[in-house]
Structure 1
């Protein structure tokens, strides 16, 4: 009897807890949602998600249920969840939305998940957002979706109605890229560049760098054939890095991850890449081999290619690469000469910014090289700079180091 009474007393508390987050509409069609939004003069927020999308699950489990998110969204929007994929576990409500989901996907070019669409109370699309965010970031994005000057579809309509001066076209191209409408971004970026007399200004080269995604883009040929001119403005090696990233993605990586799991024909890859990009081929191939053998967990070949790459091209490695290569040496190599080299790479990785994870790598290499007191000092520095989540890991490492003194 007491237990039953307790449950009765707790039910209102459960209801309050469940009432705090975003409220999503159920049992209605898209046509119904449009009619309700118009009648209530509310905007429509549509969460386009899939069942396999990790960030989608994170938003649903961690962000949408938060009270501050619910307070903001429920006051301004009718909130709708639309499942974009189809599975054999779909319930009847999901199945009833199949046609509307397909229409939304095709009409608004949904290519990444989660994509959030925002509609005005009269039903016309005004904005889109792509990707997850924390609670404050999500609310900030939704606030922007209520302002005409930051609404993607509203600004696209301004463009369609004739506003096409260079400054506006440039900002719209950047907005399209931010909103992950890559087809529009490519078209707008070409239009902006066609309006420019000098493509080699700092402003234009940075824009070109941001919009060069493939070998078909205008910037690829510029960066390939005029690297010195580009690097003089953007910085040493910037042109080569852009070209190598695109070539690797388009021409090398597809030959590494074969469906039949067969080993790459490195000689054939070498011959093909060298013929097209003779100055960059060796560096690209070494980096590709590092990635491939690291993925395959072939320690000996991964280490050998890291050492070869760093010997000849180490000056081109960025902080993240320096840390990754140093950590691989820590994990896979017991040769002291190799470890001493990795210590140098590791120390370079946090020369400009003391990133705790990079300092942790350095500390572990010091410990492995026998410099245990120095290792403890650097692990303490890493721990003191780390956030709460990282700090626990570094505390454990520090404890282990001290126990082995």
Structure 2
């Protein structure tokens, strides 16, 4: 089953969100002072018998914060949040933001947390969106979970010595419910099971549902002790979506563990696992392998390895591609998707499915890597190379999209990248010209142009940091 690890940064994610920005409207969610401490939030929530909503943001992505502002402006949120939540919006770079992140075991931003006054995370929304319904949906999930056994209850029992297999399984399920890591508990859970339990189909399925890391005891025991063909049978017994979930869990958690421990060997293991899931297409599998390794180098800030690997990766793959080859790729993927649809209705009509052309990932990635070169690289030769990638991303975007009504003036994020690279190369007038185009394209698209316009003004004054 094909698996795709998303390498697209937050800057690019904004382009796939339909926005209607209005900066003069007041937020429908009423936020308390961003410096309000956890103790004050908890006290206020308990007094009003409310839950707590915490939006943790970062200065590294002002676009993302602007998108969230639009989402919070949704009128559908007003009554639910005012009645049920004490809300705060703060940045992880601040002292209070850092303390809140530590309190709730959050390692970064951007994330929306819904907690009870005792610090139990009931649910979370990773990233940002202009769609208020997404925040409302999670609010309703949090409200439905406010009663019953909470995470702190499990933690107290665990600290008091409760380590039975049944308890650990329930503890794992509770953590997974709120998207918290489970690999430490999973290994402990497997250690409590009789050895012959690893032959049990349902036990193996439960382990795979948690996305065990490839260096974990749980994963290694399944590989060593499960009957021959059991894992294959598991994959054959579940839906395509579940197969993808198994693989994405294993790959994603292994990559995150590799980043946390700065273990490049583990990152390569995850990359190889990804490659194996593309057994029908060796070249695409190899492409995914290298994408995952690149993601690892990005996350651990190993810039030397990243620059070398990225340069080879793009020049050996992307720069050899043509628009026609990408169009053929899209057409083949579309036909495969259509063939996979199941009959629906008495007349046997096919079900409608959403189709994302695979070619879009290629220009997304070209832009992403060009932007990272802008952020991390000061060598003129490398910046010129990134400028070429940036230009190619704009060309591909224009050639490949069939609906010209969306982003009618072109892709503003790609123009923004191109302008910044020009500026860093000392080509100020060209940079201003392209950044002006980016701002205009952003305005027409309906997305926030505040950050782009700020950069434009700094380019004009010569104060933009390079």
> What TM-score does the superposition give when structure 1 sets the normalisation length?
0.53
Q: CA deviation at 1:50?
A: 1.5
SS of structure 2 residue aligned to 1:149: coil
Query: Which of 291, 309, 325 does residue 332 from structure 1 map onto?
Result: 325
2:168 — aligned with what? 169
Higher Rg: 1
Deviation at 1:58, TM superposition (A): 5.8
Mapped contact 1:303–1:333 kept (Cα < 8 A)? no
Q: What does residue 133 of structure 2 align with? A: 136
> SS where residue 32 of structure 2 aligns?
coil
Q: Spell out, residue by residue over 1:303-354, the C-alpha distance to the aligned partner (whole angstroms, 9 max, x if none).
A: 999xxxxxxxxxxxxxxxxxxxxxx7764379xxxx6x99666533432236
Q: Is the 8 A contact 1:21 1:67 kept in 2?
A: yes
Q: C-alpha displacement at 1:84, in angstroms?
A: 0.5
* Distance in 2 (alpha carbons) for counterparts of 1:32 and 1:243: 37
Any stretches of 5+ residues in structure 1 without a counterpart? 1-13, 86-93, 259-268, 306-327, 362-392, 398-405
| Counterpart mapping for 1:77-226 below 5 A | 77-85=85-93, 98=95, 100-120=96-116, 123-128=117-122, 129-132=124-127, 134-146=131-143, 147-149=146-148, 151-157=150-156, 166-182=165-181, 185-197=182-194, 198-222=197-221, 224-225=223-224
Contact 1:46–1:80, Cα closer than 8 Å, also in 2: yes
Shift of 1:203: 2.7
1:46-61 matches, cutoff 5 A: 46-53=54-61, 57=65, 60-61=68-69
Aligned match of 2:336: 348
Aligned residues: 289
Give the conservation status (yes or no) of the 8 Å contact 2:213–2:250: no
Q: 2: distance between equivalents of 1:35 and 1:248?
A: 39
**Partner SS, residue 233 of structure 2:** helix
Offset at 1:72? 0.5
1:74 alignment counterpart: 82
- Partners of 2:121 and 2:67 lie apart in 1 by 19
TM-score (ref. length: structure 2): 0.47
Q: 1:154/1:137 Cα in 2 relative to 1: closer, same or farther (>3 Å)?
A: farther
Aligned with 1:172: secondary structure?
helix
Higher relative contact order (CA closer than 8 Å, sequence separation 6+) = 2
| Separation (CA, whole Å) in 2 of partners of 1:359 and 1:68 | 33
The 8 Å contact of residues 53 and 86 in structure 2, kept in 1 or not, is answered as yes
Q: Secondary structure at the match of 2:198?
A: coil
The residue aligned with 1:381 is none
| Unmatched segments (≥5 aa) in structure 2 | 1-21, 292-308, 342-351, 360-400, 406-466
How far off its partner does 1:21 sit?
0.6
